Structure 1
Amino acid sequence: RGSGTTARGRRLLKVREEKRKKEHEKLHNYPAWAKVLENACKSDTELRAVLGDSIGNPELMRKRVEERVRRRGSDFNKSKSGSVLAFKVSFRDFNPLDSHIWFELYGSPSDRDVDLLGSVIQSWYLMGRLGAFNSSNLQLANSTSMEFDPLYDAEKGSKAMPASFHDISDVEFQDNWGRVWVDLGTSDLMAIDVLLNCLTGLSSE
């Protein structure tokens, strides 16, 4: 009986040690992009449904997102049915830290329209959250060389002043209007240019 208790105690200690080790690895080695996705899931039911039980497993999370992109990407192979006219863009009392971005559609959005626009905004937010819109680190864009093998200074990139989105709301729709609230944080206004480029392509679809 004594030896059995000791053996069980050793097993429990081993289980606890493995659990502690996994928690330590997750804390120190967990990818930043996976943390962003986990946080986004708290307010995005669609993303939460896509990831399902993969949350906490970065490799599985990546596969789930890639599978979703492949399935949804097939929609873009269809013939374009959008507008050939450029859409109008105007700004009024725009505050990068506290503003709504409004979208006027040609009619009430279909489920596909809602999904596409929501996916664009979600992708835009994730890129911004990860610091994509940082004009202080545009090494290739600012390069005067047209070489096929340009050089990239990773150390310089890592030392660039951080530029990250702070927050964003869910996209809301009413009739033929949609809107989303944004706080661009320390991101540069090039984020708006990127979004407008995306919406230009989406409008033509």
Structure 2
Amino acid sequence: MRKFDIRNIKIRKVTVDQLNDKMLLINLYMTQALTLIIGIAWVLFQGRNPLDFFAWPMTSQFALWGGGLALLVLVFDLGISRFVPEEAADDGGVNERIFKIRAVWHIAVISLTVAICEEILFRGAIQYAIGPYWTSIIFAAIHVRYLRHWIPTGLVFAISYGLGWIMIHTGTLWAPILAHFLVDFIMGCIIRFRREEK
């Protein structure tokens, strides 16, 4: 039996095209798990209980704010896509690779996973520490695949700031989770069915 030697591990940069579908999904779910773990650890370090995030709001007002922000983002994004060349909004093909062959239920699972994990870290932990503006800068920087073009980078920053604002306004993490989920799910379905028509 060969002995495991950590020095034999080689790290190299790969593009999305070099990953097969299984590895792409593993990478997606592992990064979301890591995001969730960091978020929960940060919240605990702040002396807060992460389970408090999931207390159901007394009114359904959060749904109006979350759905309203999602609608605004989708209308703006779809509207701007008519005037901006496709290469100016290119994310390196990541979203297309993730969503183009997924079943609708799997798009929903991915969207919900991303929404919960990222909102716990960014709105639940980081925003609590440094506010929505700096959180949005970090959120835009984390979405590194958009940084090659200023339009998607600006859009990600604005969406993040909107998510932070509705959390402050509603007092619940459910509002940004709902908005994040709806944007990702609807855009994922658009990618899925637009590619199916071609």
**Shorter-chain TM-score: which interval?**
under 0.3
Q: Which has the larger radius of gyration?
A: 1
Which structure has more strand as a fraction of its residues?
A: 1
- TM-score normalised to the size of structure 1? 0.25
Which structure has more helix as a fraction of its residues?
A: 2
* Structure with the larger RCO, 1 or 2 (CA within 8 Å, 6+ apart): 2
- TM-score normalised to the size of structure 2? 0.26
